[in-house]
Amino acid sequence: MILGGGCFWCVEGAYKQIHGVESALPAYAGGHVVNPSYELVCSGSTGHAEVVEVVFDPSVVSYETLLEVFFTVHDPTQLNRQGNDVGTQYRSCIMPMSDDQRLVAQNTIDAMAEVYENPIVTTLEEPLNFVIAEEKHHDYYARNPFQGYCAAVVGPKIAKVRAKHAHLYR
């Protein structure tokens, strides 16, 4: 599954320790440039979103459960932004890997519309020009928990997810 929920450091950090998640890697997808760099994606000129590729064992954790985490780690009602991170590269998006995932994702979006006061802006997209992000972004929060952005933004988001979904964590 590929998920975009703002800064990929937040989304990656939320999924890394969930039982059944085999890997969570920051990446770029949904744009028109082949193999873009972080700087190019951050410029907003490529059409890519910062995303996380989550590989999981469905016999341990379901796609539906992982989507519940997704809707906890970010605000799906903010169009092209998460807090102070503004631009299409921070959009809320799900990039299903199959028709079944697409159907479940759409049903989850519809269900979440009942939970949020404002309209859900999460899009379903194809993972065009998907590329794993540079190594320096892998495990960024785990390696830099006291860096300003991590301490102020990433840490609180991960704490919120862990509190709500404590039963999922190793």
Closest of 75, 62, 46, 48 to residue 1, by C-alpha:
62
Cα–Cα distance measured from residue 150 to residue 98, given in angstroms and rounded to the nearest whole number: 33
Cα–Cα distance measured from residue 92 to residue 3, given in angstroms and rounded to the nearest whole number: 8
Catalytic-role residue among 7, 10, 93, 150: 7
Task: Reply yes or no on whether 7 is catalytic.
Answer: yes
Given a contact cutoff of 8 angstroms between Cβ atoms, the answer to whether 27 and 133 are in contact is yes
The residues that are catalytic are: 7
